[in-house]
Amino acid sequence: MNEKNYVARRVASQDGLSLYVRDYPGPKNSEHAPLLCLGGLIRNSKDFAGVAKYHSRKRRVIVPEPRGRGFSDYDPNWENYRPDTYVGDVRHILCALGIHEVVVIGTSMGGIMGMGMAAAIPTTLKALVLNDVGFTTRRQDLSVIINYMQSPPKLKTWEEAGQHLKAAFASEVPLVDPADWTRAAKNSYIEKSDGSIGFDWDDNIVKPILADKTEVHDLWHLFKATGRIPVLTIRGEVSQILDTAQLSKMTSMHPNMKSVVIPAVGHAPSLAEKESVEALNEFLKQY
């Protein structure tokens, strides 16, 4: 255990990669289900530091880094960078840690993974939080992220990294102070061996996306699998990934789904917003 209240673990995937996991043990004999936090396409365990530390007061919290991100091994075969592989990795991680039932918080791609778990390992999933993702993903809505991923930078300072991040996502993230952008960059950039600062993920994770020419991915079958469990969906007010029409359709189709909209935020809410904290607390207290 370190001063940040988590144990850094490594778990072998089915195909032999070493996957990094932050394990926040929580109190012994907790009556609450463990929380599994799954991040977005280009994210890592740092995104959930605040959420995990806060909720580990009452329960165990597990935050894995998918293959190709952060401290997890990069996959030599880029074709493995896809959600079904990541769900398989999660299954192995939970088995290795002796966890049989979880509540999942999934941001963006992590939400797709959560829906995938509902279909692939349904008895494991007790409840699901979808953070700014629904059952339809449109390629055109991902264009900003895809363009950003295709141009790996070699930056000299963390201040430059903050400006690089701001140039791509200023319309989505309500940060104003340059120092805030620099702090945000430290969650998704890393200092390389040559001293330059660049992305903290395998540049190859964009290749499956570029190879797939599908304009609209319909994930209805995965969302339908969540119908047996409670779902909380969080939407950023100015998000294009999960728009108002899709959220409304999800609400009408799911028998046990609640939702909250986070003002002035795009894709995706950080979960530190007042509205996010309150919604999560209310939702999670049942489990």
The answer to whether position 197 is within a domain reads no
The answer to whether position 202 is within a domain reads no
What's the CA gap between 138 and 229, in Å, rounded?
26
pLDDT of residue 200: 97
91-118 pLDDT per residue, tens: 999 999 999 999 999 999 999 999 999 9
The answer to whether position 179 is within a domain reads no
The answer to whether position 246 is within a domain reads yes
Total number of domains in the chain: 1
The answer to whether position 127 is within a domain reads yes
CA neighbours closer than 13 Å in the CB half-sphere of residue 129: 27
The answer to whether position 69 is within a domain reads yes
Domain that holds residue 265: 7-137+214-284
Peptide bond before residue 118 is cis, with ω within 30 degrees of 0: no
28-59 pLDDT per residue, tens: 999 999 999 999 999 999 999 999 999 999 99
Intervals of the chain under pLDDT 50:
none
The answer to whether position 149 is within a domain reads no
**Backbone region of residue 258 per phi and psi (left: phi > 0; alpha: psi in -120 to 50; beta: other values):** beta
Question: Identity (one letter) of the amino acid at 14?
Answer: Q
- Report the CATH number at residue 66: 3.40.50.1820
pLDDT of residue 237: 96
The answer to whether position 162 is within a domain reads no
**Residue 13: both structure tokens together:** 């995937």
- Find residue 18's DSSP bridge partners: 12
